[in-house]
């Protein structure tokens, strides 16, 4: 899709309607009329309001989801019919892709090129993937006694609760919505209060595509209100969440306090990026290293925020990374002449500034960046930042910033590189640069992460699973394996 600045500007100028809940096929305000402001990270101005919902709206949405599921409006529809509706939904999203991308950028600050490709177009691709998969999966017959027929079927779990983050709400939302719906479940989704607008729109598009009323419902509001009510709800069977470890822990506690619902978590990372002197192309490695942490201002779950580079090439390689970092043009995400947009909110800007200041206080060296940009705009902008001389004891080596901050350090041996890579509580993703195929295999086996990328960054797509180990979570988004989260296995024994 060719981007045109005048078209983007026209979409930017359009007023944004208040974000309302979408329950049982209709839009609703909060029952008490409460709203919360949406502040655009572009300029810090009020964009619109969201319904500030609570227990009443969650109860209403869950009841609608349960009714639709038990009625079989969707759950008992043939796979080929579910596929037809999901494919139409994907088509509608793609048709409105630019509108959705501009709306999303106004809401969370992602630059328009990344927003278009990574949000509506990615979501449409994901929905098509699961739509095409559901009529091609079979049950099983297991070998048992000659007088027994043993069958294994996959059944939808029932009502699925989904909570999505603000960095890529459509992409990550589709990773959960598409397999949950494809499997025949009904869903209640709570988008982040920091980025709800584009999600609300695609939920409405699903209804326009023919999804029966009550099958997909959206409730907006604060996590402490809506998220907690969902986590504690006795009639939600599965929760799927992407976000912080603190909220993930709460959801597991809520499960224990309620109906022991299954809880699937993707809780971010502090991903290592290990560069050996024999990397096939050090210039490309440096370019992708910069992209891996500065794309979307580091607000990416798999961002390679720890650079672990061999001592022999440390200074030269860091100089290459700095060149790529300083070449980025930071500013208005809807300006096609720029490369990188805003941080999503004021809190994230403050967190980034605080992390940099603490790292310097703890002894790290500021290699480049480190400062807020365009403060007079009212928006939330920060320089791409590289810190060197980082040690394991520093907070910047252990804690996820979710901002444009790269923590760099050197190593001497392969064993040391693996030890550094594995020293955090996270285990989502990792990167290794080396021409030695044996070393690549050894590193892949020894690094504790759900994904290992060798001589590339972000080479995976919807066909490949994304899931974490350790405190990066459990279960997998993407790939056919994601369907397993939203299905129950049923064994049936038939005496012959």
pLDDT in tens, 438-461: 999 999 999 999 999 999 998 779
Q: Which residues contact 235 (CB under 8 A, 6 or more apart)?
A: 62, 63, 66, 159, 259
Q: Which two tokens stand for residue 454?
A: 């060798």
Q: Is 424 exposed, middle or buried (0-12, 13-18, 19+ CB in 10 A)?
A: buried
Average pLDDT over residues 155-168: 98
CB 276 within 8 A of CB 314: no
Q: Judge whether residue 49 has pLDDT over 90.
A: yes
Across the beta sheet with 238-242, the strand order is 26-28, 21-23, 216-218, 186-190, 159-163, 238-242, 262-266
What pTM value is reported for the model? 0.97
Q: How far apart are the first and last CA of the chain?
A: 59
- Give me the chain's average pLDDT, please: 97
At residue 305's C-alpha, the angle toward residues 344 and 103, to 5°, is 20
Which residues have C-beta within 8 Å of that of residue 129, sequence separation ≥ 6? 178, 462, 463
Could you tell me the domains of the chain? 5-267+473-493 (3.40.605.10), 272-461 (3.40.309.10)
Residue found under tokens 């290992």: 452
Nearest to 160 by CA among 484, 462, 428: 484
Q: What is the pLDDT of residue 145?
A: 87
pLDDT above 90 covers a percentage of the chain that reads: 98
Confidence of residue 183 (pLDDT cuts 50, 70, 90): very high
As a whole number of angstroms, the distance between CA 371 and CA 347 comes to: 15
Beta bridge mates, 491: 152
Residue ranges in 96-155 assigned as alpha helix (H): 97-108, 112-116, 122-133
- Phi/psi at 3 (5° precision): -90, 135
Query: pLDDT tens for residues 16-25?
Result: 999 999 999 9
Residue 180: band (very low, low, confident or very high) from pLDDT cuts 50, 70, 90: very high
| Model confidence band, residue 1 (pLDDT cutoffs 50, 70, 90) | confident
The DSSP symbol for 218 reads E
pLDDT given at position 138: 93
Residues 222/193, Cβ–Cβ less than 8 Å = yes
Distance of alpha carbon 202 from alpha carbon 93, whole angstroms: 7
> What local confidence, expressed as pLDDT, does residue 2 receive?
87
Structure confidence by residue, pLDDT tens digits, 330-357? 999 999 999 999 999 999 999 999 999 9
62-99 pLDDT tens trace? 999 999 999 999 999 999 999 999 999 999 999 999 99
Give mean pLDDT, residues 2-23: 97
Query: What local confidence, expressed as pLDDT, does residue 144 receive?
Result: 87
Q: Are 437 and 337 in contact (CB under 8 A)?
A: no
The tokens describing 231, both together, are 């986590």
253-to-2, 51, 230, 368 alpha-carbon distances in Å: 47, 26, 12, 42
Active-site residue list: 266
Check if the beta carbon of residue 93 is closer than 8 Å to that of residue 100. yes
Run of H or E residues at 18: none
DSSP label at 312? G
Span 272-292, pLDDT tens digits: 999 999 999 999 999 999 999
């Amino acid at each position: 899709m060719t981007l045109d600045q005048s078209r983007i500007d026209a979409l930017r100028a359009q007023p944004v309607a208040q974000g309302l809940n979408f329950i049982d096929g209709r839009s609703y305000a909060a029952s008490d009329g409460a709203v919360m402001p949406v502040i655009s990270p572009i300029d810090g101005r009020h964009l619109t309001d969201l319904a500030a919902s609570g227990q009443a709206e969650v109860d209403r949405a869950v009841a609608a989801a349960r009714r639709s599921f038990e009625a079989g409006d969707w759950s008992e529809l043939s796979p080929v019919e579910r596929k037809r509706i999901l494919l139409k939904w994907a088509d509608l999203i793609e048709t409105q892709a630019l509108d959705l991308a501009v709306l999303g950028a106004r809401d969370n600050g992602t630059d328009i090129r990344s927003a278009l490709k990574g949000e509506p177009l990615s979501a449409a691709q994901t929905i098509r993937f699961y739509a095409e998969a559901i009529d091609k999966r079979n049950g099983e017959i297991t070998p048992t006694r000659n007088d027994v027929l043993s069958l294994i079927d996959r059944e939808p779990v029932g009502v699925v609760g989904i909570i999505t983050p603000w960095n890529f709400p459509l992409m990550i939302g589709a990773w959960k919505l598409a397999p949950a719906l494809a499997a025949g479940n009904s869903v209640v989704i709570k988008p982040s209060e920091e980025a709800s607008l584009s999600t609300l729109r695609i939920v409405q598009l699903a209804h326009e595509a023919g999804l029966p009323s009550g099958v997909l419902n959206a409730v907006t509001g604060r996590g402490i209100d809506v998220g907690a009510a969902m986590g504690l709800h006795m009639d939600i069977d599965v929760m799927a969440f992407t976000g912080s470890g603190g909220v993930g822990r709460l959801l597991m506690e809520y499960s224990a306090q309620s109906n022991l619902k299954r809880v699937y978590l993707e809780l971010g990372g502090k991903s290592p990026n290990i560069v050996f002197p024999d990397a096939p192309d050090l210039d490309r490695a440096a370019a992708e290293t910069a992209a891996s942490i500065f794309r979307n201002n580091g607000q990416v779950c798999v961002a390679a925020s720890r650079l672990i580079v061999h001592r022999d090439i440390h200074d030269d390689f860091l100089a290459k990374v700095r060149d790529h970092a300083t070449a980025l043009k930071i500013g208005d995400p809807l300006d096609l002449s720029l490369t990188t947009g805003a941080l999503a909110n004021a809190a994230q800007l403050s967190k980034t500034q605080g992390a940099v200041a603490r790292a310097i206080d703890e002894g790290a060296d500021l290699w480049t960046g480190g400062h807020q940009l365009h403060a007079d705009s009212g928006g939330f902008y920060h320089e791409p930042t590289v810190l060197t001389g980082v040690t394991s004891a520093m907070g910047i080596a252990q804690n996820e910033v979710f901002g444009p901050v790269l923590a760099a350090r050197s190593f001497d041996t392969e064993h040391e590189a693996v030890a550094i890579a594995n020293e955090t509580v996270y285990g989502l993703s990792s990167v290794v640069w080396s021409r030695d195929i044996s070393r690549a295999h050894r590193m892949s086996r020894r690094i504790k992460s759900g994904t290992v990328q060798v001589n590339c960054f972000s080479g995976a797509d919807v066909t490949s699973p994304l899931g974490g180990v350790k405190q990066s979570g459990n279960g997998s988004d993407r790939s056919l394996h994601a369907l397993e989260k939203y299905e129950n296995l049923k064994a049936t024994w038939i005496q012959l």
